[in-house]
Amino acid sequence: MAKQPNVLWICTDQQRYDTIGALGNPHASTPILDAFIGEGTSFSNAFCQSPVCSPSRASFLTGRYPRTTGCRQNGQSIPKDEVLVSKLFRDAGCRCGLAGKLHLASCSDGKVEERTDDGYDDFFWSHHPQPDWPENAYTQWLAEKGKTWDGLLEEERSPYVRGGPPAEFHQTTWCADKTIEFIRANEGRPWFFSFNCFDPHHPFDPPAEYLERFPVEEMPLPSVHPAEAQRQTTFQKLDREWAHDNPGEFHTGAMTDDDRRQVYAAYMAMISLIDDQVGRILEALRETGQDRDTLVVFMSDHGEMLGDHGIYFKGPHFYDCQMRVPLVIRWPG
């Protein structure tokens, strides 16, 4: 190792543990991550500190519990005096960058989240691919190419699934592009980079070419016990009818078995795209001779109910499928 090591932190959004072939899922198409797990250390019992985005991200970026940071739910902001790991890396002399989501503060209604002294020198922010904010760097990138996110969507396959932007214009691909640009631009100096794609977070809208790889009829149904609903809490019962208890968004209570299989196929297709883009990033490390100087972390902020226990998305539910996430660390040495 010729220099201070680099750190590449790959964090997906809403990816549950059992979504990778090497972790036991026969329906997954994840050859890159399968090989990556074989080269590194996979933690089989990694549980996030919160079942929703902001508190979980605030926790793993500070090393502190949500009750300590004070960020306990989405819509709350991390206190300005909390120190992020990215700030520590910058103070240690690393060039720091981010592509995609951060979500340590409220960013609803078109408001860009307020940054703390987070340490990021290169900040390619895109909370999610929808063009809700003019400052969305992914939206600006699409505009430069004469495209819009809405214009790239395909017709709905069902009330729950649709084909999203083609892979070449997808936010996951854009995050990988920015990561690769950063890796190449900072060869020869220590760096820390956060790859934070929005997928496989809902809506379930993978590129159509990826969706076709997963035959709907071969997908499994969610795990639901017939008598479970009677024992669930009020919040859980509400979410069994409408995801996020938001009538009009995702009508869980009206789903057929075919609908459920389509959602599972779309979710796995989104992860397959992530797998391909992780492969491009790892190849860039090899091509630039930085693979043996770079610690690579792969993880997710929390899981996805995916119909288990009759619920989709996420919420105040501490089921294994929402709290247990993949965590893999590769350190060639």
Task: Determine which helix (DSSP H) or strand (DSSP E) holds 97, and give its type and residue range.
Answer: strand 95-100
DSSP three-state, residue 298 = strand
Instruction: Tell me what pLDDT residue 113 has.
Output: 77
From CA 243, how far away is CA 122, in angstroms rounded? 35
Report how far apart, in Å, the C-alpha atoms of 329 and of each of 3, 84, 295, 321 are: 20, 19, 7, 21
Question: Is 102:196 a contact under the CB 8 Å cutoff?
Answer: yes
Instruction: Tell me what pLDDT residue 1 has.
Output: 46
Regarding the domain with residue range 6-330, which homologous superfamily does it belong to in the CATH classification? Alkaline Phosphatase, subunit A (3.40.720.10)
Per-residue pLDDT tens for 194-243? 999 999 999 999 999 999 999 999 999 999 988 888 888 888 889 999 99
Instruction: Tell me what pLDDT residue 104 has.
Output: 86
Report how far apart, in Å, the C-alpha atoms of 159 and of each of 70, 163, 216, 254, 260 are: 37, 12, 15, 10, 11
- What 8-state DSSP symbol labels residue 62? H
From CA 48, how far away is CA 298, in angstroms rounded? 13
Consecutive 10-residue averages of pLDDT for the chain (333 residues): 85 98 98 98 97 92 92 81 95 97 79 85 93 88 96 92 97 99 97 98 97 98 88 87 90 97 99 99 98 97 97 93 98 80
Backbone angles phi, psi at 29, to 5 degrees: -120, 85
Write down the mean pLDDT value for the chain. 94
> Which one, of 136, 148, 59, lies nearest residue 101 by Cα?
136
- The domain spans of the chain are 6-330
From CA 305, how far away is CA 55, in angstroms rounded? 18
Question: Is 195:297 a contact under the CB 8 Å cutoff?
Answer: no
From CA 212, how far away is CA 209, in angstroms rounded? 5
Instruction: Tell me what pLDDT residue 109 has.
Output: 66
Instruction: Tell me what pLDDT residue 312 has.
Output: 97
pTM: 0.96
